[in-house]
């Protein structure tokens, strides 16, 4: 089959086959391109979409990009069930198998070093949100109409103070949660808070963290998160994973906003 080679990940050779019905970007099933002690997981994609110029144009098309990202992640998720993948950047494309092998050759030492560090480990994502502008314990009854400008300013000061108190509690909670979760993780990354306009999540994000956790300790990690989920009124905790270790895989990978 002709076409460019879309590369999802690099990993060590593995014996367990991927599920037969798995398809990748553009509907083509992934296959393996071996080179020395590594294999690249690739599929064929059309030049009309993935050559340099059309790909640059497509990256401005959110619907197209979302479809590619979903297919890309589907292959990574399938790999994660059978091996430890090192995910490559979304839209990593080469002319042919020879180009893929040349890429592995150039980065082989780095790939092997990172794969050694990630072997048997997964990434968990934890986000903390402030859900309300005011704490839930505040009265649900509407505030009385201010009788004067002075009353209006007093009400605004009270609202601002309540919101400041909630933010302070949220920051304290997030700091303690991060410290607790680090006890079950080998490494962590603190990402920038997500923009709610882009993420679509409700509330304001005060913690956006990733944790590298040995598979054998994942249950312990999840239990630590679960024990905190209802800890503070007005604050929401979200757990995602387990994922391939995007946040810990080095420069070869693209960081991903947690699903």
Residues of the chain above pLDDT 90, percent? 54
Beta bridge partners of 34: 39
Checking if the pLDDT of 215 tops 70, the result is yes
CB neighbours of residue 6 within 10 Å: 28
Q: Give yes or no: residues 126 and 233 share one domain.
A: yes
Domain residues for the domain of 63 are: 4-118
Whether residue 222 sits in one domain with residue 159: yes
Name the range with the highest mean pLDDT among 60-64, 96-100, 127-131. 96-100
Question: Rg (Cα) of the chain, in Å, rounded?
Answer: 23
End position of a domain, from candidates 92, 118, 144 = 118
For 221-259, write each residue's pLDDT tens digit.
999 999 887 667 788 899 999 999 989 987 444 333 343
Whether residues 103 and 161 share a domain: the answer is: no
Q: Are residues 171 and 222 in the same domain?
A: yes
Residue 256 in domain: no
Q: What is the pLDDT of residue 239?
A: 95
- Domain termination residue (choose one: 118, 141, 170): 118
CB burial of 83-121 (b: ≥16 within 10 Å; e: otherwise) equals bbbbbbebbbbbeeeeebbebbeebeeebbebbebbeeb
Residue 207 lies in a domain: yes
Tallying the residues shown for the chain, one arrives at 259
Q: How confident is the model at residue 169 (pLDDT cuts 50, 70, 90)?
A: confident
Number of domains in the chain: 2
Q: Is the confidence at residue 143, as pLDDT, over 90?
A: no
248 vs 162 pLDDT, higher one: 248
Tokens representing residue 56 in the block? 């640059």
113 & 129 share domain: no
HEC profile for 154-204?
HHHHHHHHHHHHHHHHHHHHHHHHHHHHHCCCCEEEECCCCCHHHHCCCCE
Phi, psi of 109 (to 5 degrees): -60, -45
223 CB-side CA count, 13 A: 6
Domain contains 254:
no
Q: Mean pLDDT over all residues of the chain? A: 83
pLDDT: which is higher, 195 or 199: 195
244 plus 129 within the same structural domain: yes
- Containing 225, the helix (H) or strand (E) segment is helix 218-226
Same domain, 127 and 227: yes
């Amino acid at each position: 089959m002709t076409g460019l080679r879309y590369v999802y990940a690099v990993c060590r050779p593995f014996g367990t086959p991927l599920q037969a019905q798995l398809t990748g970007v553009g509907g083509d099933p992934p296959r393996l391109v071996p080179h020395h002690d590594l294999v690249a997981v690739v599929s064929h994609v059309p030049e009309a979409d993935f050559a340099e110029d059309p790909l640059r144009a497509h990256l401005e098309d959110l619907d197209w990009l979302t479809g590619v990202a979903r297919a890309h992640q589907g292959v990574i998720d399938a790999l994660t069930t059978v091996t430890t993948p090192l995910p490559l950047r979304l839209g990593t494309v080469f002319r042919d198998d020879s180009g893929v092998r040349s890429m592995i050759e150039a980065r082989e030492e780095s790939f092997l070093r990172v794969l050694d560090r990630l072997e048997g480990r997964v990434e968990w994502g934890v986000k903390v949100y402030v859900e309300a502008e005011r704490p839930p314990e505040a009265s649900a009854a509407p505030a009385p109409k201010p009788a004067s400008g002075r009353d209006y300013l007093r009400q605004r000061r009270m609202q601002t103070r309540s919101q400041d108190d909630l933010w302070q509690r949220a920051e304290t909670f997030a700091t303690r949660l991060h410290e607790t979760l680090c006890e079950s993780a080998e490494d962590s990354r603190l990402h920038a808070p997500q923009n709610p306009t882009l993420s679509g999540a409700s509330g304001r994000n005060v913690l956006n963290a990733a944790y590298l956790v040995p598979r054998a300790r994942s249950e312990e990690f999840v239990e630590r998160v679960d024990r905190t989920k209802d800890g503070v009124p007005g604050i929401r905790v979200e757990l995602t994973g387990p994922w391939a270790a995007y946040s810990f895989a080095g420069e070869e990978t693209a960081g991903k906003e947690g699903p």
